[in-house]
Structure 1
Amino acid sequence: MHAHPAAAKPCATCGDLTGRGYPSCPDCARAVDRPWESAWAALPDPDPEQVADAPSGDYPWTCVDWALRQLRCAGCGGELAAGAPDCVGCAAADAARWELATATAHERALRTAVAALRAPTWHRRAVASTWRLLLPFVVAGSVPSRAALCEVRTQVVAGRYEELATLDTLPLELPLLPWRRSVV
């Protein structure tokens, strides 16, 4: 899809690892959104409404996601598929987005992280925080395993977000939580 940096690096604008400031930091947003922007730019005549309303499979998932970002929901006025958590229109648009599969596990991780961070009120705080912690590594080409996602989320729930945010490599290695240590 795109060339990835060799490792997660600090963002020149926000100072955190690139991607962690998504979507509010402009440089993090540019780094994360690169696949969507390039796919959208490759369309001959991009029209967000046409792309969002097209039958599933007519456009790549990146273009459908990007079209949704550019449209406002008639029901709640928010970004379509990321507006108010109780908005039926946004929920329908979000569900339709996932009808299109990604080609790789990396694309799926990137898409899932972005969806969670663009609509954080739709997810438990621990889920959004987990993706915020892991997004810099996904931007650098890593794909966290399901076990790694679960472990990071467990650490976040245990109140270790700030501690995890200081780590700059995957896997995020911390001592086990006291209740998860095996007793011999």
Structure 2
Amino acid sequence: MHANPVAAKPCATCGDLTGRGYPSCAGCVAEVDRPWLTAWAELPDADPERVADAPAGDYPWACVDWALRQLRCAGCGGELAAGAPDCVGCATADAARWELVPPTAHDVVLRAAVVALRAPTWRRQAVASTWRLLLPFVVAGAVPTGSEVREVRTQVVAGRYEELASVEVLPLEVPLLPWRRSTV
């Protein structure tokens, strides 16, 4: 677990923790998408098709992700790499996106959360709900470990989403489930 607790702040637009309303709340979107917008603004010629079609490594990961968001899939008409869950074009674009590894652990978890929430039908509900719970803390600078993500997902599967949603500090301090308690 984190040595230093990370507190999330409320969104001025929706009132929930910033990021929890992503991608439907404009205030949450503005905060969450900041790294993508910053990278995109630094491109001298921001052409989504050219960026998305370029060989892996020609553009920063955030620019490739942002380019995919700007493009529509020819197969399903949805956001490229986040459209219909059975769309081959979207699946191919999503797989290509992961060829570029973000440079920091924080960027990796931020990207994983955003991708899960932009295409929630591609994942089990518990996975999308887990990232919805964790995203406000990632926006605040936290980097949840794999074990923290798994523990939150276990709690979500056990029906504790609402209880976890009321916690404003990471790590999410909730009593362990009966089957997860040590008997030693």
Shift of 1:45: 1.1
Preserved contact between residue 51 and residue 64 of structure 2 (Cα < 8 Å): yes
Shift of 1:7: 3.5
1:84-131 Cα deviation digits (max 9, x unpaired): 000000000000000001101000000000000000000010000000
> In 2, distance between residues paired with 1:115 and 1:85?
13
Output the TM-score relative to the length of structure 1: 0.96
Instruction: Give 5+ residue unaligned stretches, structure 1.
Output: 1-5
Alignment partner, residue 178 of structure 2: 178
Query: Which 4+ runs in 1 deviate beyond 3 A?
Result: none
Code of the aligned partner of 2:20: R
Shift of 1:182: 2.3
Alignment partner, residue 32 of structure 1: 32
Alignment partner, residue 140 of structure 1: 140
Shift of 1:180: 1.4
DSSP 3-state at the match of 1:134? helix
> In 2, distance between residues paired with 1:88 and 1:124?
19
- CA-atom RMSD in angstroms: 0.9
How many matched pairs?
Answer: 179
> In 1, distance between residues paired with 2:146 and 2:76?
33
Code of the aligned partner of 2:21: G
Alignment partner, residue 66 of structure 1: 66
DSSP 3-state at the match of 1:149? helix
Alignment of 1:145-184 (within 5 A): 145-184=145-184
Shift of 1:134: 0.2
Query: What is the identity percentage for the equivalent residue pairs of Structure 1 and Structure 2?
Result: 79
Select the structure with the greater relative contact order (CA < 8 A; seq sep ≥ 6). 2
> In 2, distance between residues paired with 1:137 and 1:172?
10
Preserved contact between residue 76 and residue 83 of structure 2 (Cα < 8 Å): yes
Output the TM-score relative to the length of structure 2: 0.96
Alignment partner, residue 3 of structure 2: none
DSSP 3-state at the match of 1:83? coil
DSSP 3-state at the match of 2:33? helix
Code of the aligned partner of 2:69: R
1:32-71 Cα deviation digits (max 9, x unpaired): 0000001101111100000000011000000000000000
Code of the aligned partner of 2:171: P
Code of the aligned partner of 1:175: P
Code of the aligned partner of 1:83: G
Code of the aligned partner of 2:181: R
